[in-house]
Copies of this chain bind each other. A is one copy, B any other.
Amino acid sequence: MSISKHAFTDAERLAVYRAIEERRDMRHFLPTPIDKAVFERILMAGHHAPSVGLMQPWRIIRITDSSIRLDIKNLVDKERIKTAEHLAERQQAFMQLKVEGIAQCAELLVMTLMDQREHHIFGRRTMPEMDLASVSCAIQNMWLAARAEGIGMGWVSLFEPSDLAKLLSIPQGAQAVAVLCLGHVDEFYSAPMLELENWRQGSPLDDVLFENSWENK
């Protein structure tokens, strides 16, 4: 029982935990452009993610065309209304939430699973969805890097993938899994926005931790 000789310094460890604790899913952005070097570091942080069998299944479509951005915004608005309809008694509360900042953010990315994934069996024979797990790790890296750079990021999953595929010529076998909004922010939320808006409160760690068997404490 000892501290590892490979541990970072205390200051470095605290910085890593600061990024983890202060990262937020942002939906409010300022229009200021992101510094090019900062943006490249955030992208590279994503590319440093682990991936099952080192398949690096992420494909990143940067949206620089404002008419395509508007089309994406419209796709998301459409799904937002469909989601609201399925939420029954919470429909109105949901429609009052700000769920994305697509029109305002400085950079818009569509994170996509690559095509021809069936050639990659390592770690995916029984769970082909491990490719999504890898892309999610890449997105989490970008989120933390963005936070360290003082840049907000939001993950929007309110869309119909086949609509986005048509819009961006995403081929059969590939699939968009996230619309990412990145940009400067006035301030980072002090807690998850869904907590601040009383949509839902997070549970303590203890509630999700079992020993040796499901729900055994």
Contacts and interface: CB of A to CB of B under 8 A. Distances in A.
Contact of A132 (B1, B132, B185, B212): B132
A214 B59 contact: yes
7 nearest A-B pairs in the assembled complex, by CB-CB distance:
A4-B150, A7-B150, A6-B150, A136-B136, A12-B15, A15-B15, A140-B140
Q: How many copies does the complex hold?
A: 2
A117 interface: no
Interface string A125-136: 111011011111
Interface in A115-130: 121-127, 129-130
Interface in A54-97: 54-56, 58-65, 68, 79, 82-83, 86-87, 94
For A41, A137, A185, A211, the residue with the greatest tally of chain B CB atoms inside 10 Å of its CB is A137
B8 A15 contact: yes
B11 A11 contact: yes
Contact of A133 (B58, B177, B195, B205): B177
A103 interface: no
Nearest to A149: B7
A214 B44 CA distance: 19
Contact of A157 (B2, B52, B63, B184): B52
A79 B6 contact: no
A151 interface: yes
B124 A157 contact: yes
Nearest to A62: B211
